[in-house]
Structures are given as structure tokens and as C-alpha cells.
Amino acid sequence: MSERFDLYRAEHEDIEPPVILLEDVSKDYVGGQHALKNVSLEIRKGEFVFIVGISGSGKSTLIKLLMKEISPTGGHIMVAGKDLSRLREYSVCKHRRNIGIVFQDFRLLKDRTVFENVAFAQRVLETPNYKIRRDVPRILSLVGLSEKLDSYPDELSGGEQQRVALARALVNNPVILLADEPTGNLDPRNSWEIMRLLEEINRRGTTVVVVTHNKEIVDAMQKRVITLNKGVVVSDQRGGYSRAKN
């Protein structure tokens, strides 16, 4: 465990450390793009957080930093008690097991069945077969797809495909679920369905971070909303999108 994390604990003895902690984080891409500027924020275990902001404001950059797909140019990031700058390659894989992720474009394997798409996430971790046979139907039932185990992605609606992606993200029981515009390709009914599932997953204890443009949903759900603008956190409060300053 890192010194910074110990220090944080010493200063906040009474409370659990945040599951996500950014301290003064900046990200400049090669070519001079300042995608994030001195972002500091804490997300606690069990929170449900929306990240909003116009296109180009740094939302996906934040998600990629949390996955350690990219590294910050400045500052510190801690996820599930680990200082990401200190992770070696082997530990990066372990770190990613703590995180489930879904994207706007589903990213399913087109030549595999629904069952195999979800099982894939377990096979890469060399999960034993008996566990795969037990876990995959269980998680597909949670997202309402028990009837579709043998279907292929092309045979499913967009909403169903996103539910498969969600099942795949959840099958290894992550501490954190990240969703980068998960409803961007869905109609309102399917968008709501996905959000209700995210809420249910959160109710079961997973910390959920959702990047979205869907004002109606953000307004209705009354969760914590972090607004980014040009790489800066301009608002962080509970409530709807419309209250957030853009």
C-alpha cells in the first residue's frame, strides 16, 4: 500500500478511504491538447456518480485514466487503494479486474454467442469451467437475458446488446463499474432499462460511474453529478443536470 494512501488514511481515520481518488490530475496529449487540468475528486465505495459535460470536455480521458489505459501528465490517481503510477504490468491486469467497463458501441464479439461473450471475460482470467457454467447464466438472468444465451449479437436489439456488455462487465464481480456513454446508441426506453440496471447493480454494492449526455435521465435520477468543462471540474453536486453549471 502506498505512502500517500497511508497518509490519506491517517488524516481520515474515521472514514473508509475513497474507492477512487484523484489529486491534482492533469492530462496533456501529445500535440498540446490539455484534456484534464488539475482535477481533484473523491468517489466513495457504493456511490453512483454521473460525469457530464459537452463533447471534448475530458470525460473519456478520465475513464481511460481510471483504467490505466493512459497515464496522467501530472497528479496522482488511486483506485481501490492502489496508486496507479506505481503499478507494474502484472498489477495493471489485477487492477483492471477491479473494474468493469461498458462503452457506447457495446464492443461484443460478433462471432460468439451471448453466453460466450460473457464467458470470455472469465476465460481470460482462467476461471474454471464449472464456475463459468454457474456464473454466466446467473448474471445474464440479472440483466434479463436468460432466453438469449445461444443468440448471436446480430440477432439482438441495441438494448439487448448493451445488456450483454453489462453482464460481461459484471461477471467477475468488479468493485467499480465504469460506463462511457452507455445509452448513446439507445432509444429512450432502452436507455432507461440500462439505467435501472445500473441502479440495481449499485444497490447491490458496486460503485458506479456513468458518463452521459442524457439530461432527462440525469435530472430524473437525482444522483451526484460531476460536470467537466474544458478539462476542469466546474460543478460537483447532488441533483440534476440542469442545476449543474456548464
Residues that bind ligand ADP (CB under 6 A): 29, 31, 33, 35, 53, 55-61
For ligand ADP, which is the closer residue by CB, 61 or 172?
61
For Mg ion, which is the closer residue by CB, 69 or 155?
69
For ligand ADP, which is the closer residue by CB, 2 or 26?
26
Q: How far is the CB of 7 from Mg ion (least distance, A)?
A: 33
Which residues contribute to the site for Mg ion (CB under 5 A)?
59-60
Spell out the SS3 assignment of 31-55. CCEEEEEEEEEEECCCCEEEEECCC
User: Which regions of the chain does DSSP assign to beta strands (E)?
Assistant: 20-29, 33-43, 48-52, 74-79, 82-83, 99-103, 176-180, 207-211, 224-229, 232-238
Q: How far is the CB of 32 from ligand ADP (least distance, A)?
A: 9
For Mg ion, which is the closer residue by CB, 59 or 82?
59
The partner in contact with residue 99, picked from ligand ADP, Mg ion, none with C-beta cut-offs of 5 to 8 angstroms by kind, is none
CB 84, CB 131: distance < 8 Å = no
Q: How far is the CB of 64 from ligand ADP (least distance, A)?
A: 8
Q: How far is the CB of 57 from ligand ADP (least distance, A)?
A: 4
Residue nearest Mg ion by beta-carbon distance: 60
Q: Retrieve residue 111's grid coordinates.
A: 462471432
The partner in contact with residue 58, picked from ligand ADP, Mg ion, none with C-beta cut-offs of 5 to 8 angstroms by kind, is ligand ADP
The enclosing H or E element of 63 equals: helix 59-67
Nearest by Cα to 208 from 199, 196, 217: 199
The partner in contact with residue 172, picked from ligand ADP, Mg ion, none with C-beta cut-offs of 5 to 8 angstroms by kind, is none
Q: Is 14 left (phi over 0), alpha (psi -120 to 50) or beta?
A: alpha
Q: How far is the CB of 53 from ligand ADP (least distance, A)?
A: 6
For ligand ADP, which is the closer residue by CB, 61 or 162?
61
Query: At residue 203, what are phi and psi to the nearest 5 degrees?
Result: -60, -30
